[in-house]
Structure 1
Amino acid sequence: MVLSPFSGRPILSATDEAVLVWLGLASAGDEYGNRQLHKRLAQPGSALGFYSCDNGHCFETNADAFITIPGRTVSEATIHFLGFTAEKTAEIWEGWVDMYLDLPRVPNWFLCGFALDYINTTIDASNDKDDATWRRVMTILGVAASLQDFILDPAHRHIRAKHSCASWIKQTIQERYNRLRNIQTASRSRAELLEPTI
């Protein structure tokens, strides 16, 4: 078996994807395995009541209303979505391919745990007031600038007071993976609403 950069189950089911692309609420996948998805479809409960909108017009369509998600659960794009830099993403993906290349089946959720193992907890910071140290630690660990900015947002200082830098990175990455799985589950639910009853 050869792992391609695009393996694992699709995040959006085929039926749901077709409708969302037609409505302009999702894009087709790009050459890197990413797509745009309307932010409201990434929220809990997005499976319910969506198709009752008038041709999807209950959604904003400006560029800020969309997020980039990977097309599949196991891909380089998924690792990048979790919050790693391009360089760290490539390193993790190469390690994943080397480790799991010859295995016939690997559960999709293994990828998140595998990526979390790349967060070296011996390199850490715990002073919630020292943003510069936290940013240095996150840069060394290969955390993308967007995730660094999220973690260092002053609104999250109370969380930083309770957790070390490495543990907060791991928690946030796990939450991002869970969000991706929730998007996948919501897509399956919407697709079931479209299936004709027999």
Structure 2
Amino acid sequence: MSVFADKDLEILVAAGLALPSDLEKGVIRVHKRRLNMSSDSDESHIPLTPSSGSKDSFSDIPEALHSIPTIKYLGFTDEKARSIWQKWTEVEAELSTNKEVNFVGIVLGFLKPSDADDVWDDNDEQWRQFMVQYTVEIRYLGLKDIQEASRERAIATERARQREGGQSSREPEKVQAAPTATSDEASEAASAVPGFITLFKGVSKARLASLVSDDPSTVLFGLHSPFPTDFSALTGAIYFAVDREVALHYAYWAKQRDPSGTAALIQIRVPNSAIESLGPEELRTIYWDPRGNDKSWEKLIYNNRIRGKRIRNVLGFSNATLVIGTIAKKPIAYYETLRSHEEMTERDVLMNADGRPATQYAWIGDKGEEFVESFCLDDMNVFNVSNRELAEFGRRL
């Protein structure tokens, strides 16, 4: 299964926006403005002129979606990629009677915690802020986005050819770029509205295909954060930040996980009345105490992050629908180096742009999903975060 449609690739090569396939490496070098649907606007600072294929303007994309180059693209070393591919071919042969075999599911099925050492990354601290599994999924979904964009360009080219009554080797006209996170539309969506609280979430747009679905359960899946998380060790949760700057922080790191993908900012408005309607067992708050007298926040974070005790029950969180509290800063691997939550300090707290502890809203489990479906989905907006915006944000980190 090719990532790029044949006709689309033919036109890109003719226009100097892609190089012919490197058969030895199994990759195609493609201009960064011809990857996914948002790439043209995200990379608008890069000129659309034929060049030597410099990595400043081009990205190496696997030729085949199911291949060793794809496994390497997902972040694995050569040796590990060959090992996973061997296992994949064996499973594919065994399941050949099925119509479809989930390639990334098979890859993740062979992923063990020790495999974190078999991936490439220049900075262990940055890498370990996000689980290996989540990164693999994001990069694979990013490839699917590239594949879809190529198919759409090929279809548009064919339609143009039919209108012209002959062959067309030109690129189809580009659709108008979607509003970005710094647009007037985004500012209006983020503005305060009496009776509502506006919340933000930064993600990789590769996970957001589900957000255009008519099925609420599919939309909710796209919003989920994989456990273990700050407030939930054993079940999924939907997290949004109070501060827009904090959401951009997560969008920035999403882009680091998948450089060929697009980062996005989700904005929702939640009725205050809906939050206030929750009972004391359904609505829980837990904040970091800067004086160090109350260690409940540290205890919850520590035990959830290391998949330890069912600490939500201990703290009375077993019936929580919504948890509001301070955001923890460190990756899971960090907590595994601690002997107990007592060793946690201010350095483990994520601060906002004003230097105050950042706050998040977390909807937990099935009841949390029901709340989000009932009160949040009708007023949800998604905006691309351009590479220029991310670069400016990165300089402030």
TM surpasses 0.5: yes
> Where does 1:24-103 land on structure 2 (aligned, <5 Å)?
24-31=16-23, 32-46=25-39, 58=48, 61=51, 62-102=54-94, 103=96
Higher RCO, 1 or 2 (CA under 8 Å, sep at least 6)? 1
Paired residue type of 1:58: L
Structure-2 residue corresponding to 1:190: 153
Contact 1:21 1:27 (8 Å CA) reproduced: yes
Paired residue type of 1:190: R
Which secondary structure does the structure 2 equivalent of 1:10 belong to?
A: coil
Q: 1:105 to 1:150 in 2, by over 3 A?
A: farther
Contact 1:100 1:106 (8 Å CA) reproduced: no
1:57-97 deviation per Cα after TM superposition (whole angstroms, max 9, x unaligned): 63574332111111111111111111100000000000011
> Where does 1:1-198 land on structure 2 (aligned, <5 Å)?
9-31=1-23, 32-46=25-39, 58=48, 61=51, 62-102=54-94, 103-104=96-97, 107=100, 110-121=102-113, 123=114, 138-139=116-117, 142-143=118-119, 145=120, 148-149=121-122, 152-153=125-126, 160=129, 168-195=131-158, 196-197=161-162
Q: 1:105 to 1:21 in 2, by over 3 A?
A: farther
Q: 1:120 to 1:40 in 2, by over 3 A?
A: same
Q: How many residues align?
A: 154
Q: 1:70 to 1:191 in 2, by over 3 A?
A: same
Consecutive unaligned residues of structure 2, counting only runs of 5 or more, are 164-397
What is the Cα deviation at residue 171 of structure 1? Answer: 0.7
CA distance in 1, matches of 2:49, 2:100: 34
CA distance in 2, matches of 1:172, 1:83: 8
Q: 1:77 to 1:106 in 2, by over 3 A?
A: farther
TM-score by length of 1: 0.67
Q: 1:151 to 1:19 in 2, by over 3 A?
A: farther
Q: 1:20 to 1:187 in 2, by over 3 A?
A: same
CA distance in 1, matches of 2:99, 2:56: 35
Contact 2:17 2:48 (8 Å CA) reproduced: no
TM-score by length of 2: 0.35
Paired residue type of 1:149: D
1:135-157 deviation per Cα after TM superposition (whole angstroms, max 9, x unaligned): xx722xx21x2xx226634xx78
> Larger helix proportion, structure 1 or 2?
1
- Aligned identity (percent) is 29
Contact 1:47 1:186 (8 Å CA) reproduced: no
What is the Cα deviation at residue 106 of structure 1? Answer: 5.2
Q: 1:149 to 1:96 in 2, by over 3 A?
A: same
Consecutive unaligned residues of structure 1, counting only runs of 5 or more, are 1-8, 49-55, 124-136
Contact 1:33 1:70 (8 Å CA) reproduced: yes
Task: Say which one has the larger Rg.
Answer: 2
